[in-house]
Structure 1
């Protein structure tokens, strides 16, 4: 695995199997440049293939990117575990949302058989299942709880976001996930979960929509800016603790 160099710049692990055919992957470098230009938020970014993501401790933020099925589901889940248990700021988008739920079901809820229907269609505990209607290439409204991390970041109770996914959370497992501490803070107009966060964690947010696709001018979405700020704060906290 590529090890980040020692620097005063916040370091972010972009976990995913980088491909020129995944639009979010091609947009992220430009978004990071805009963060530096517009907000002075300079992040030292490292692309980490899922097969090499078992150890991403030492970064100031972890972003689990779209692009499933991942080359290594185990690697993607390990990255989520690292962020969740080490207090590292985490963002999961699209497949990152799906695998954040899958990791929580296994690692916190004790549902070892939790599965993703895309990679394991015959799994006995399908926490992630095909959506009734694919959202690939669609936009949709999201209703956000105001008293939440997502609500604080977005500053609005309603937002319209872009998707490129065909899988989501199985409603049968929502109560299990909630009862162990996950909080679903954004839903579409039908009430289906689209945003999840983990209270008590410095920054743990996942969206089924893709904020990296939000604007054609590459102006960073508020959620991406918030992740960058969280990475900087993490770096400052770690430096102060030394």
Structure 2
């Protein structure tokens, strides 16, 4: 397939922000993936027009983001339009807050995308930070996350996220089609998904740090596979091969 026929993924994030270690890993990985990935700075997202033409959204680590409102616009665009979405580390709690704000209309989530000070009471340090180290993760049985791991309910992942959201807020936001699907050894949610969506997954760990161009993490691999399916790229490739 030529680059023009590859599905397009928006890498939403602030490239190099906080010297985020996931960013160079992504830069190394994406040239080897069957997609066209483009960095979209959060400051460039003022409405959904910034995401037009993209087949999926990958909200990468690097919180606090320069423009949280732009982050929420990208999440909502993917959620409402059925575009595959992957949010890692800061992308996890941004996805949770966006859902709480625009689907559940929780008072605690109102205005946090426009006023960063309103987010501060929701953020709390994680007991299990394990920066750059592997730690156990419990996966909900029969979840999308479990299927990604081949049905496993106990895995190990690289934790590099120091902050999460308060227990009270996460309990209130864990409603409707959104549900938690992974927890660390302290019982803090580390994964979420939305039922009935082609692919909507958030992880409060970084699968990017477990990936190389030769060996892509199963969460990222499944995300890419879904992008190919939903964009019709696999069908185009098969038709071209058959011609």
Q: Structure 1 length normalisation: TM-score?
A: 0.84
5+ residue gaps, structure 2, are 237-243
What is the CA distance between 1:218 and its match in structure 2? 5.3
The answer on whether the counterparts of 1:52 and 1:75 sit within 8 Å (CA) in structure 2 is yes
Q: Deviations over 1:74-93 (max 9, x none)?
A: 11111111111111000000
1:168 matched residue in structure 2: 164
5+ residue gaps, structure 1, are 1-5, 36-41
Task: Evaluate the alpha carbon distance shift between residue 9 and residue 193 of structure 1 in structure 2; reply closer, same or farther with a 3 A threshold.
Answer: same
2:61 paired residue among 66, 88, 96: 66
The answer on whether the counterparts of 1:144 and 1:185 sit within 8 Å (CA) in structure 2 is yes
Q: In structure 2, how many angstroms separate the alpha carbons of the residues matched to 1:60 and 1:153?
A: 21
Q: In structure 1, how many angstroms separate the alpha carbons of the residues matched to 2:138 and 2:88?
A: 17
Task: Evaluate the alpha carbon distance shift between residue 124 and residue 31 of structure 1 in structure 2; reply closer, same or farther with a 3 A threshold.
Answer: closer
Instruction: Give the alignment's Cα RMSD to 1 decimal.
Output: 2.6
Are 2:148 and 1:153 aligned? yes
Partner-residue secondary structure (3-state), 1:197: strand
Are 2:6 and 1:9 aligned? yes
How many residues were matched structurally? 226
Partner-residue secondary structure (3-state), 2:138: strand
Q: Deviations over 1:105-124 (max 9, x none)?
A: 111110254249xx42xx38
1:43 paired residue among 30, 35, 38: 35
Q: In structure 1, how many angstroms separate the alpha carbons of the residues matched to 2:6 and 2:211?
A: 26
After superposition, residues 186-201 of structure 1 pair within 5 angstroms as: 186-201=182-197
Q: Structure 2 length normalisation: TM-score?
A: 0.84
Q: In structure 1, how many angstroms separate the alpha carbons of the residues matched to 2:52 and 2:145?
A: 25
Are 2:29 and 1:31 aligned? yes
Are 2:103 and 1:108 aligned? yes
Q: Which has the higher helix share?
A: 2
